[in-house]
């Protein structure tokens, strides 16, 4: 890394397909899965019509609508783009709003992720180390935040690299799950006949 552009925008070297897989990989978080389960549990399947608009999103991504103009300005952040288009006051307001929401986000997401790992893996609520009782929720939350900070030290290049491999790995995992479900359901139907 030799510049701010390298840290914030990966040197502006990422192209369409890398960004697509990376975005998909970044979207497969425990918090998103938990949020989707909670949403369907509370409101039923009526809320699942939004993903049906996926072709519209895909078309938007492929044509570069909105994103193309944003990239043309060579702005590194959305707040910088707002200053270019509107005013410095709006940039400061939007920058502070994004900073506060990011801090709140990094306070909530690791805690939800830690709860997910505790319940999914059957980890006890507390552990004893040297006669001291410690909350596993706090320990796992701190570990998740420390890992996130460690990854971001490398800038956007590190995040692109890790999210790309996460996206590729999850695509293969989804294909395996789909193949297993297809095999299990077709095998069950043929056995009934």
Q: pLDDT tens digit string along 86-136?
A: 999 999 999 899 899 988 887 788 888 899 889 988 999 888 888 888 899
Residue 64 and residue 3 share a domain: yes
Residue 180 and residue 131 share a domain: no
> What range defines the domain where residue 102 resides?
78-153
Residue 189 and residue 142 share a domain: no
Residue 190 and residue 100 share a domain: no
Q: Is the pTM of this model over 0.85?
A: no
Residue 93 and residue 38 share a domain: no
> Is the model's pLDDT at 14 over the cut of 90?
no
For the chain, give the mean pLDDT: 81
- CA geometry: angle 45, 47, 52, nearest 5 deg: 95
Which residues touch 111 (CB under 8 Å, ≥6 apart)?
Answer: 137, 141
Residue 87 and residue 38 share a domain: no
Total number of domains in the chain: 2
Report the residue count for the chain.
Answer: 193
At 189 the pLDDT is: 60
At 176 the pLDDT is: 94
Residue 68 and residue 40 share a domain: yes
Residue 180 and residue 124 share a domain: no
Residue 139 and residue 88 share a domain: yes
Distances 45 to 8, 37, 40, 51 between C-alpha atoms, Å: 38, 10, 6, 11
Residue 82 and residue 41 share a domain: no
- Look at residues 86, 61, 56 and name the one whose alpha carbon lies nearest to residue 71: 61
User: Which token pair is 55?
Assistant: 């072709």
Residue 103 and residue 170 share a domain: no
CB 21 within 8 A of CB 168: yes
Residue 94 and residue 48 share a domain: no
Phi/psi at 78 (5° precision): -65, -35
Which helix or strand (DSSP H or E) is residue 126 part of? strand 126-129
């Amino acid at each position: 890394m030799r510049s701010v552009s390298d840290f914030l925008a990966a040197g502006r070297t990422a192209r369409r397909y890398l960004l697509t897989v990376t975005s998909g990989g970044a979207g497969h978080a425990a918090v998103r899965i938990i949020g989707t389960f909670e949403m369907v549990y509370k409101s039923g399947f009526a809320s699942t019509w939004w993903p049906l608009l996926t072709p519209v999103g895909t078309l938007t991504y492929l044509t570069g609508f909105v994103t193309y103009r944003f990239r043309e300005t060579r702005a590194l952040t959305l707040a910088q783009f707002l200053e270019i288009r509107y005013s410095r006051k709006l940039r400061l307001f939007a920058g502070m709003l994004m900073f506060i929401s990011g801090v709140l986000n990094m306070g909530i997401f690791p805690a939800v992720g830690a709860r997910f790992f505790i319940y999914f893996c059957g980890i006890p609520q507390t552990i004893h180390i040297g006669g001291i009782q410690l909350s596993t929720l706090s320990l796992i939350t701190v570990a998740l935040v420390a890992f996130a900070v460690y990854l971001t030290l490398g800038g956007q290049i590190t995040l692109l690299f890790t999210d790309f491999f996460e996206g590729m790995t999850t695509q293969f995992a989804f294909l395996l799950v789909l193949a297993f479900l297809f095999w299990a359901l077709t095998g069950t139907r043929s056995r009934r006949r």
